[in-house]
Amino acid sequence: MPDQRFFHIPIALSLAQLAAKCEMDLANPADGDFIVDDLAPLDTASPTQLSFLDNRKYREQFINTKAGACIVHPDFKDIAPKGVKLLLSKSPYKSYALASSMINPDPKPDAAISSFARVHESATIGANTTIDDFVIISEGVEIGDNCWIAPYSFIGPGVKIGNNCRIMQHATITHSLIGDNVKIYAGARLGQEGFGFAIDRAGFVKVPQLGRVIIEGYSEIGANTTIDRGALGDTVIGMGTWLDNQIQIAHNVKIGKGCIMAAGVGISGSCELGDYVMLGGQVGVVGHLKIGTLAKVAAKSGVTRDIPAKEEWMGYPAMPMKQFLRHTAYLNRKTAKNKKEA
């Protein structure tokens, strides 16, 4: 059971309720009334708990589990231990995620504006929205319905935040337009000046950053991630894109929909990423490059040229994955040969 110092008591639900909402089918319709009161791993689950199997590596744990019910792919139906109720899913991990969200829903604070918050008289706050202690809401801000602005957050002048958004502790947002159903985690910084300057022999001359940050709906911005506003155009994060913690997105970057970036990624100015791009941890991308739709880049790669759509790249400098692996194999052979000859 989740530690109740940090999480609410799980909600007990029937298998029929879970199947209806989580893209699953009951292996035995007669099991629909069975109640589960929590989720747990296969090896520790009790007869009142729900577990799941998504990786063949844990096949033996599934065979020996004491769970009351289990989410599995239909291919594993025949090896289930006796007495375990089965929920069949073509995508067990996704179904588990949906079930977990039902059993352990995110907390919803009471809708109220704290007396310790500072809300400008011209700001517009939607229905059922919570403004916590020591939040600053500036002039002309618009915040939609069912939002939660957590303590010590700063929302700068003119910022617009859509419905059903969560802005967590110590986030700062300026020069930004944010869509519906967006979550911005603690310490994120959106809309600050981009790193733009001209150079001559006398030194640096700052270039005014006159654009905005656009965060489209259903996106997530991780803790301590920074997104600079554009110089003239906008910096855009597309619909349903999720950014992990401690990512830097520079000015004028355009990121498509459904992209995923792991922690530590750095995207230099004016890059364009297509839809459904995946970047591993600590990938760096040189400025003004294009990465095509459905491209993937492995962790710690340094991207120094455009990547076509649907290709997988890795290494520094990044290159097509097969080419990188051939280079690595060649170097390993040469190294082994040189050691023998030494």
Q: Which residues are catalytic?
A: 251
Q: What is the token pair recorded at 37?
A: 């009161």
DSSP 210-242: ---EEE-TT-EE-TT-EEPPPSSS-EEE-TT-E
Handedness of CA 253, 263, 136, 217 (dihedral sign): positive
Give the number of C-alpha atoms closer than 13 A to the C-alpha of residue 298, restricted to the C-beta side.
Answer: 13
Classify 97 as helix, strand or coil.
helix
Q: How far apart are CA 176 and CA 192, in angstroms?
A: 9
The tokens of 85 are what?
A: 């109720």
Which of these, 273, 280, 275, lies nearest to 314 by C-alpha position? Answer: 280
Give me 84's structure tokens: 């375990």
| Count of alpha carbons within 13 angstroms of residue 168, beta-carbon side | 14
Helical (H) or strand (E) element with 137: strand 136-137
Q: Per the omega criterion (within 30 degrees of 0), is the bond before 81 cis?
A: no
In the DSSP assignment, the letter for residue 307 is B
- Measured CA to CA, the distance from residue 234 to residue 16 in angstroms comes to 47
**DSSP 8-state secondary structure symbol assigned to residue 330:** H
Amino acid 308 reads P
Cβ(251)–Cβ(235) below 8 Å: yes
Location of structure tokens 């155009």 = 233
**C-alpha distances in Å from residue 189, one per residue of 157, 170, 186, 248, 249:** 15, 9, 9, 10, 10
Tokens of 340: 């023998």
